Structures are given as C-alpha cells and as structure tokens.
C-alpha cells in the first residue's frame, strides 16, 4: 500500500511538472501548444509503464507516446522499461538496452551513442557512484536535491526562450 501511494505521488509530481514545463518547452523550441510533449510526459508515462508492465494494455502507452509526439517517443518509454529490467537483472537489462538501441538504429542512427552511458549506469548500480546517506535505516537525500531538476527544467527552457527571442 505504501509503495503504491509513493508511486502515485511520484506520477502526479512528474505529470504536474510535465504540464508546468510544456509552455516553456513549446516557446523554447518553437512548437505550437502541445504539438510535441516534453520529457516529463515521457517520464510520467514510464512510471506507469513500469507499474503496469505485466498488463498487456500497457503497450498502449507506447502507441500513445508515438501519436501524442512525446519527447523520445516510444523509444523513451521502452528505455525506461529497459532500465527497470536492468535494476532487476543486470544481464537481461544490458541485453534489453542493447537490443532496443540496435532496433532503434532504423529510425535514429545517433541513438546508438546512448550505449556509452551503460558503463556509468552499471557503476552506479554497483554502488561505486552512489552518493547518499542513511537516516533511520532509510536512504535520505537533501530536499533541494529532490526538487532541483524539477525546477531547473522549466526554468532553463524559459531562459532559452528569452535568449532566443532577445537575440
């Protein structure tokens, strides 16, 4: 129950920031309103994808990502699924990420470069790159670190738009 509540809150937080970030995203990149959806829509859908991964209807999220023009499209949601697999089983995760990227070469030939991040991800998974502290047996992060990137994303898009419209 507690895990579901945390997941629901995480999804809501991501989806709210998707909505908040959409106007700066559209302005910064010159899109019409909701012509192309920002990365927070992909991330929030990825949370749903992981949570409902055993339900065959979850594939509708991938189709939705294509037709609603999510940032990174179906690839983004599939990659989030592959990261989930990687967390559960390193070997299957590596194979799934490699396979996804080989298949995506048909559409985006630059996507193969994302495999260069795999060693860093594996170092983090092994614990080598983790920066955290324990508080009462739980992992705790400073509050600023939790929300920094949520605030940064729409802010930097707004600044890009202002820069673009000024110069």
In this prediction, residue 101 carries a pLDDT of 85
In this prediction, residue 43 carries a pLDDT of 95
Three-state secondary structure call for residue 132: coil
The residue-averaged pLDDT of 73-85 equals 91
CA dihedral (150, 47, 68, 36) in degrees, to 10, reads 20
The answer to whether 43 and 14 have CB atoms below 8 angstroms apart is yes
In the chain, what are the domain boundaries?
2-166
CA 97 to chain centre: 15
In this prediction, residue 148 carries a pLDDT of 75
The residue-averaged pLDDT of 134-147 equals 64
- What sign for the dihedral angle of Cα 121, 46, 114, 99? positive
In this prediction, residue 81 carries a pLDDT of 93
| 22 exposure class (CB count in 10 Å sphere: 0-12, 13-18, 19+) | buried
The answer to whether 71 and 38 have CB atoms below 8 angstroms apart is yes
In this prediction, residue 41 carries a pLDDT of 97
In this prediction, residue 15 carries a pLDDT of 97
Between 153 and 50, residue with greater pLDDT = 50
Q: In which element (H, E) is residue 127 found?
A: none
The answer to whether 66 and 77 have CB atoms below 8 angstroms apart is no
In this prediction, residue 1 carries a pLDDT of 42
**Residues 83-135: tens digit of each pLDDT:** 999 889 989 988 998 889 888 877 766 666 777 778 877 877 777 666 655 55
Name the pTM for this structure.
0.77
In this prediction, residue 16 carries a pLDDT of 96
In this prediction, residue 142 carries a pLDDT of 63
- List b or e across 28-44, with b for residues whose CB sees 16 or more CB atoms inside 10 angstroms: beeeeeeebbbbbbbbb
**Residues 18-74: tens digit of each pLDDT:** 999 999 999 999 999 999 999 999 999 999 999 998 898 888 998 999 999 999 889
pLDDT-derived band at 150 (thresholds 50, 70, 90) equals: confident
- State how far the alpha carbon of 125 is from the alpha carbons of 52, 57, 76, in Å: 23, 30, 20
The answer to whether 13 and 25 have CB atoms below 8 angstroms apart is no
């Amino acid at each position: 129950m507690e895990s579901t509540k945390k997941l629901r809150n995480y999804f809501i937080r991501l989806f709210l920031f998707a909505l908040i970030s959409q106007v700066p995203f559209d302005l910064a990149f010159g899109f019409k309103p909701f012509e192309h959806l920002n990365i927070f829509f992909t991330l929030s859908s990825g949370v749903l994808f992981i949570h409902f991964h055993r339900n065959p209807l979850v594939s509708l999220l991938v189709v939705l990502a294509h037709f609603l023009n999510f940032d990174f499209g179906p690839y983004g949601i599939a990659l989030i699924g592959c990261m989930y697999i990687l967390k559960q089983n390193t070997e299957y995760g590596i194979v799934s990420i490699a396979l996804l990227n080989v298949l995506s070469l048909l559409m985006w030939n630059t996507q193969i470069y994302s495999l260069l991040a795999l060693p860093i991800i594996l170092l983090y998974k092994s614990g080598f790159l983790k920066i955290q502290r324990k508080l009462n047996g739980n992992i705790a992060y400073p509050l600023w670190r939790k929300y920094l990137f949520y605030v940064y994303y729409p802010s930097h898009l707004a600044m890009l738009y202002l820069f673009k419209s000024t110069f």
